[in-house]
Amino acid sequence: MTFLHPVRGPARAPSSAVALPRASRLAWVLLTALALVMPPLAATPAHAGASAGEVNVYSYRQPKLIRPLLDAFTRKTGIRVNLIFAKKGLIERMAAEGRNSPADVLLTVDIGRLTGAKARGITAPVDSAALKANIPAAFRDPAGHWFALTRRARVVFASKARVAQRDITYEELADPKWKGKICIRSGHHVYNIALFASMIAHHGPEKAEAWLRGLKANLARKPSGNDRAQIKGVYEGVCDLAIGNTYYMAKMQLNDRKPVQKKWAAAVHILFPNARGRGTHVNVSGMVLARHAPNQENAIRLMEYLATDEAQRIYASVNHEYPVKPGVPWSDLVASWGRFKADPLALETLAGLRKAASELVDKVRFDEGPGS
């Protein structure tokens, strides 16, 4: 198994379109091997010593989003962080690896994946006073099998040109006045399943089904694409409202590689649903300790660090999400979107209703789009 270095990242082979001489290819192989096994001097403080060890992280989160955190941890402790990233399949991989798994910590998004990891039997409980002090009880497993790290709000992006109102509720999204004016990604995506589960929790399955049918009837098109694609739909006039996670606004506002996305962001403003009532639905990113962690002590040190003020500030500024630790300030950009009240619904409740929410999506044929 190959791990990526916390500072250098993966060694990249030259493009296959360029043919290297044999000597150059040999040099590349040697340099790549050295990059994977030799830590940079800057990553290890002088006081840490060679015995500081390492910790292996499996991550659903992209390396660029978490490497600043891992690098800061290495500088502070001298513990090298090896990273494996994949968009899917890591929980299944850990289960298949069993006792032979090198994973120490799993980083992921969505409460469903956190509780799913626990249900799959790949997690170990952590009884840490530091984690209990820094992470509110509502954002951690009662038995210590998972801990949230950041929050993300699922909001409504409204057209600045065509939508005058500045507040909305999730319930209102089923109002016929929005017929043909809403864009959303697949109902089966984990972000929407969590939102729909919250509607079941608040209203019961029958009313939630009626609401979901109403939302489907108001869609401007068949659900597809990611959250940014929905905001693009507002910019293009396909719809007036888009449902998405808050941090996508930052991804567009700061996208210098694709400046057109800045135009998408400039075309909308954020409405935090139910701000005057129960509050806006929030989901989380989080972490678990691997059941067979070979470096358990270092793994717990990393987990405890990720819940500190320092790490929470880094996480908030890099990911443009909301810190889970109370008192840690939001980034300036995130704060510019406005304050909101978070729905206090327990994450365990959301997780327990995910199956019912998924069944509702199928029952109303949500992903077939309006008119189906």
Q: What is the pLDDT of residue 327?
A: 95
The answer to pTM > 0.85 is: no
Two structure tokens written together for 302: 């990393």
Do residues 363 and 202 make contact, with C-beta atoms less than 8 angstroms apart? no
Whole-angstrom Cα distance, residue 65 to residue 80? 18
CA distances for 271 relative to 160, 169, 268, 330, 359, angstroms: 11, 9, 9, 18, 28
Say if domain 152-281+339-368 classifies as CATH 3.40.50.720. no
**Identity (one letter) of the amino acid at 322?**
Y
Q: What is the pLDDT of residue 257?
A: 92
Q: What is the pLDDT of residue 24?
A: 36
- Please list the alpha-helical segments (H only) found in 156-189: none
219 phi and psi, to 5 degrees?
A: -70, 145
Given a cut of 70, the residues of the chain with pLDDT beneath it are: 1-52
Q: What is the pLDDT of residues 250-287, one digit of tens each?
A: 999 999 999 999 999 999 999 999 999 999 999 999 99
Instruction: Label the pairing between strands 282-290 and 123-124.
Output: antiparallel
Domain parsing of the chain, residue ranges: 42-150+283-333, 152-281+339-368
Q: What is the pLDDT of residues 226-240, one digit of tens each?
A: 999 999 999 999 999
Angle, helices 190-203 vs 205-217, to 10°: value is 130
Buried b vs exposed e over 19-56: b needs ≥16 C-beta within 10 Å?
Answer: eeeeeeeeeeeeeeeebeeebeeebbeeebeeeeebbb
Whole-angstrom Cα distance, residue 116 to residue 249? 28
Question: CATH number of the domain at 42-150+283-333, please?
Answer: 3.40.190.10
Q: What is the pLDDT of residue 285?
A: 95
Q: What is the pLDDT of residue 43?
A: 31
42-150+283-333 and 152-281+339-368 agree in CATH topology: yes
Q: What is the pLDDT of residue 316?
A: 87
